[in-house]
Amino acid sequence: MSLVPCHRGSLAAAFVVLAPLLHAAEITDLRTQGRSGWMVTNDPEPMLTWKLTVDPDETPVSYEVALADSKQALLDEDGTEIRKVALDDGPALRFDASALPSRSERWWRVRTRMADGDAGDWSAPTSFETGPREGDWSAEWIRMPAAAREKNAPRFRKRFQLAKPVTKARLYVAGLGWHESRVNGIPLGDEVLQPAQTDYQYRCFYVAHDVTRRLREGENTLGIWLGDGFYNQDQVWGPQGMSYGQPKVKARLEVTHDDGSTTVVTTDGSWVCAKSPIVRSNVYAGEQYDARLEDPAWAGPAAGDGNWMPVEIASAPGGELIAQDLPPCRRIRTVAPVTAREWKPGVWMYDFGANLVGWTMLRVEAEAGTRITLRFAEDILSDGSPNFATGGIEHTKAIQTDIYTCKGSGQETWEPRFTYHGFRYVEMTVADGKLRTAPDNGTLTAVVVHNDLPVTGRFHCSDPTLNMAFEWAHRTFAGNIQGVPTDCPVRERCGWTGDAHLVVPYSMFRFNSAPLWTKYTGDIVTSARRDTPMLSFGSNMEEREVKPKPAGIPTMVAPGMRFIGEASPDWGSAIVFIPWDVYQFTGDLRPLERNYGSMRQWTLHLESRARDGILSSGLGDWCKPHPLGAIEEPRDYYSQVVPMLSTACFYRCAAITADSARLLGNEEDAERFAKLRETIRTAFLREYYGPEPSMTPDQTIHAIAIDWGILPEAMRDEAAGRLARLVEEAGGHFMTGVFGMPSLWPSLVGHGHQPTAWKALQNETHPSFKHLASKGATTFWEVWPGQMDPRDPERPYNRSMSHPFQAAFVQWFYSGLAGIRPDPEKPGFRSILLEPQMIDGLDEVECSFDSAMGAIESSWKRDGSTFTWNIEIPPGATAKVRLPGRLKGMDPSSDTFSFSDADDAQGAAQRATLPAGRYRLVSTLP
């Protein structure tokens, strides 16, 4: 059988229609380390990437990347270095910057080269710079004298003279915990809550700014505003919180003049500091701001000297200074309230329609001294009051609260700087004065804040429940990208390792999230350097003991001081799972090269803890639905499931470590861990799938054993049958926790149990997505609410209402329903597996994904027995296609592409390998 090339727009019943890519050849979206525009990096091998769109008649065979040490040299092709990249290697260049001097500039651009030798047009140029190294700073850490600061967010200032015109100026600032920088009174950049949280005793991020156009001859002023952030989080989790010390800053301004000379300004004892209108701030508890203390000119040329005092030289936090490659947090969008009502005298409640993360912008006119208190909650109770229990007040002893004191001079607009909140509802009270504007007239606007990761994956289908789940997943995950992939935006705000590794595949489809996971694996490694005594978890959550943790073994939480203890097998395996998943999606070997030592050590650590190939300790399939509809898991749950899940994680660690070793050329390790993998598989099958199993697999274990390839292929259909029976016996409900859910759907649908999967997807009773929606959810909750009324004032829902690990399964919308997966034989989507999983009840899917190779589309529609499938395969890639049904009306005179029969558990199908292009395939379904 064969395909006839023709235009995508026409579709004849007798043809499968192919059309090449339609756009003119163009290189766009140049990025360094995932960031667009100018940036500074300390990475010795930054990754340069771009996007290609091509004309039907201009199929390139390679890329050419031109690099030079200045923009003019690049444009003039004067001393330009040309690097060639094969088209099938993808639109990326791993650039060796290790030999470049500190603070070097590198300009680059890209073009295509055709088979006939002709070159395409050059892209627009962009640049990056290598950051200063530790010995280049020549600066002191400074802080406000502790006796003067109290809880205030201090400001720092330095006036300096520039005697010559400026041609280039760079400002590097490490302001801990969070900071905002200004030059001559103007804030720099649009980022907020910077830099990202790290283990400050091991590494600290700095933020770089190009301030060339902000400086002038004569007097200039540099200002820095510091907030506590996570560095001085001294209020929650213990009497002293989790503080590393008072806020401090280290900065270097490097100015190049038109004659080649330089002026350098660094933080030292000549700086001055003063209190600010931010009376106090805390990541968890919120911010208090007194506008009567404002001095708008504090960092400008007209700034006064009153109330300013000499700074104090501070000790270094201990960590290496590294440029933050992770895209910063930004104000992503604003949301108006859907309702604003006075729910009791003098108290207003604002409903923003969905659970969000960020803060509110306050616009108000009021008398001087009027105190406006804003309290944030994820939900309200049936009596109209805020439900603060979901924020963990029992543990944090803090309600998310912002307080603004008015200055009384016309309209005032205010947003907090050094805190953020998880909320849908905001309660506003007014004291010590009166508002001159109506509280329901534009007073509050929500500002959504998170790391600005580009959206790469889109999905929509004919079923509203799945579309709702997709929307929830985005809102839940995006709100928890706060420099760290947090578990929730209210109560803990911690980077739990197990929570993180579960959501990596979803995040890699939905966002350009590789920079996030590169940063976070670094957090796991630095947190693992601790070797102090800490908690270790036994086979039951009640069994804990304090004992020394070997250096290099991950902690439960990273980064930060609330590390909890030595990671359990299911959580600590993040150090193996995350680098591997990022490699599969990007084809970038750096995550494996840089983390292989940690991956190897962890797998060997698990081997040392195992007995006859079985691990008995762990946390288990967290947050499973309670069979009786309560929100607490049965107490015997852990001992039933933990060994099976932890051993499955052990198996996957051994398999990944073996494959990683082979990729990195370490054949000795590859053989060793491959043998370990088979030893674990044998033990797993003996204990749980043998004639006399020691434990009975539940839905989660069957799903994972199939999906992770622990079961031999010959056993998977039978296990899928058992899995389907368990779902049916549960009334058509999933009973999986956060580990089992991502594997449940592909294991059912991929083995012919589509009706059972659809029943569970569409169920309206607990536990189900529709049932959760009926409780008012707009994000994924930590625990399924069961039969309880979450708004009962006597017993309210008291778990997080925004927990990304419950959204991890939505990756199946891309990999299963749309059928887009990276081919393990050629990671990074150089080879694509396109195998949509059909499911009764779903008639249409629209899905696209900006992969490491370029745009991929898999959109299909079912109309009776006719299946129509639109495919896009990016330049340089190929796709292994599984077409449901039988190809329709093929012209036998053309043999350009051939399909072969491939009937399997999912039904009749045909397979082919297709080159880059756009296609419309039409088939007849059984």
**3-state SS assignment for residue 744:** helix
The Cα 482–Cα 479 span in angstroms is 7
Looking at residue 411, its amino acid is: Q
Q: Tell me the pLDDT tens digit for each residue of 80-101.
A: 999 999 999 999 999 999 999 9
Q: Are 839 and 833 in contact (CB under 8 A)?
A: no
Q: 848 and 895 in contact (C-beta within 8 Å)? A: no
Q: What is the pLDDT of residues 427-468, one digit of tens each?
A: 999 999 999 988 987 999 999 999 999 999 999 999 999 999
Residues 815, 505 contacting (CB under 8 angstroms): yes
**What type of residue is 383?**
D
Cα(330)–Cα(141) distance, rounded to whole angstroms? 26
Strand partners, 172: 208, 252
Alpha carbon distances (Å) from 304 to 143, 275, 301, 831: 20, 13, 9, 63
Question: What CA–CA distances, in Å, run from 28 to 36, 125, 439?
Answer: 10, 10, 46
Going from the C-alpha of 862 to that of each of 657, 677, 751, the distances in angstroms are 41, 41, 20
Helix (H) or strand (E) holding 146: helix 146-149
Q: Are strands 844-850 and 831-834 parallel, antiparallel or unpaired?
A: unpaired
Closest-CA residue to 314 (of 479, 143, 510, 430): 143
Ramachandran region of residue 636, left (φ > 0), alpha (ψ -120 to 50) or beta? Answer: alpha
DSSP codes of every residue in 858-909:
EEEEEETTEEEEEEEEEEEEEEEEEEESEE-S--TT--SS--EE--BTTBSE
Q: Which position has the token pair 């050094």?
A: 418
At residue 349's C-alpha, the angle toward residues 344 and 352, to 5°, is 160
pTM of the model: 0.95
* Six token digits for residue 651: 């198996």
Residues 89 and 135: beta-carbon distance below 8 Å: no
Structure tokens at 755: 């009706």
CA 912 to chain centre: 34
Q: Residue 56: phi, psi to the nearest 5?
A: -55, -30
Is omega for the bond preceding 767 within 30 degrees of 0, making it cis?
Answer: yes
State how far the alpha carbon of 336 is from the alpha carbons of 2, 354, 365, 428, 773, in Å.
54, 11, 19, 15, 22
Write down the pLDDT at residue 20: 37
Rounded Cα gap, residues 739 and 618, in angstroms: 13
Q: In this structure, what token pair is assigned to residue 795?
A: 């017993």
Element (H, E) at 106: strand 105-114
Strands 909-924 and 886-887 turn out to be antiparallel
- Report the Cα–Cα distance between both ends of the chain, in Å, rounded: 18
Measured CA to CA, the distance from residue 93 to residue 163 in angstroms comes to: 41
Pairwise CA distance, residues 925 & 76, whole Å: 59
Q: Which residues of 207-228 are buried (b: 16+ CB within 10 A; e: fewer)?
A: bbbbbeebbeeeebbbbbbbbb
How far apart are the C-alpha atoms of 694 and 683, rounded to whole Å?
A: 11
pLDDT at 56: 60
Q: Give the model confidence (pLDDT) of 540-550 as tens digits.
A: 444 556 666 77
Strands 379-380 and 533-537: unpaired
**DSSP 8-state assignment for residue 217:** S
Euclidean distance between CA atoms 859 and 869, whole angstroms: 6
Tokens of 196: 């990202």
Q: Are strands 320-323 and 203-210 parallel, antiparallel or unpaired?
A: parallel
Distance CA 166, CA 162 (A): 8
Q: Is 558 helix (H, G, I), strand (E, B) or coil?
A: coil
Q: Is the peptide bond before 538 cis (omega within 30 degrees of 0)?
A: no
Torsion sign over Cα 819, 821, 825, 828: positive
Tell me the two tokens of residue 122. 């050059």
The token pair at 840 is: 């009764």
Residue 27 near residue 55 (C-beta atoms within 8 A): no
C-alpha separations of 664 from 592, 593, 701, 886 in Å: 8, 7, 31, 42
- Locate 746 and state its tokens: 């592909």
**How many Cα atoms sit within 13 Å of 442 on the Cβ side?**
8
Pairing of strands 401-405, 286-290: parallel
- What tokens appear for 631 in the block? 């929100």
**Residue spans of the chain under pLDDT 70:** 1-24, 56-57, 532-548, 628-639, 889-896, 905-906
Partners of 829 in beta bridges? none
Distance between CA 753 and CA 734 in Å, rounded? 13
Are 482 and 327 a contacting pair, CB within 8 Å? no
Asked if the peptide bond before residue 195 counts as cis, ω within 30 degrees of 0, the response is yes
Please list, in sequence order, all residues whose beta carbon lies within 8 angstroms of the beta carbon of residue 444, skipping any fewer than 6 positions away.
337, 340, 350, 360, 361, 362, 363, 374, 426, 428
C-alpha dist (Å) from residue 465 to 396, 469, 668? 35, 6, 49
Cα–Cα distance for residue pair 727/63, rounded to 1 Å: 51
* 428 Cβ neighbours under 8 A, 6+ residues apart: 347, 348, 349, 350, 372, 373, 374, 439, 443, 444
User: What distance in Å separates the CA atoms of residue 906 and residue 129, rounded to the nearest whole number?
Assistant: 52
> Any residues with CB less than 8 A from the CB of 105 and at least 6 apart, and which?
69, 70, 127, 128, 129
pLDDT digits (tens, 9 = 90+) for 275-294: 999 999 999 999 999 999 99
Task: Report residue 769 CA to chain centroid gap.
Answer: 23
Give the pLDDT score at 98. Answer: 94
Q: Report strand pairing: 831-834 vs 866-884.
A: parallel
Residues in the chain: 926
